[in-house]
Amino acid sequence: MEMSEEKTKYCPYCGAQIDYKYTTCPSCGKPQPPIDGQLPLRTTGKKNALLAAILSLLITGAGQIYLGKVWRGLAYLVTVLLMGILFDGILTFDELMILGVVFSIISAWDAYRMANEINRS
């Protein structure tokens, strides 16, 4: 027996013994299921869109960081801090708070949208 069992597999559709590297069965033409560990699992990449939005509402950019978009999250955080510094003395405290809230909502909406995008891919 020259042929190792690891080098071949059986087509789940027609039962033909085929090379394990084939992505489609040469006998029936059906696509073959991936070899274990070759393709990322679909379920593990799922992100909670609502959680991402809530995180960004609480701390601007936190939702983006949760989604793994660290630089995007930090950009949001730095922008909101810079706005606070730039508009200090120009806007009243209340106006600054409103600006901060508006920015949090934008950040939350962005996080929510990004999470859905990640879940779709």
CA-nearest of 73, 66, 71 to 51 is: 66
Q: Which of 14, 35, 81, 101 binds Zn ion (CB under 5 A)?
A: 14
Q: 23-52 mask for Zn ion (x: CB under 5 A)?
A: --x-xx------------------------
Does 8 help bind Zn ion (rule: CB under 5 A)? no
CB-based contact 21:12 (threshold 8 Å): no
Q: Which of 7, 10, 13, 71 binds Zn ion (CB under 5 A)?
A: 13
Burial of 79 from C-beta contacts in 10 A (0-12 / 13-18 / 19+): middle
Residues near Zn ion, by CB under 5 A: 11, 13-14, 16, 25, 27-28
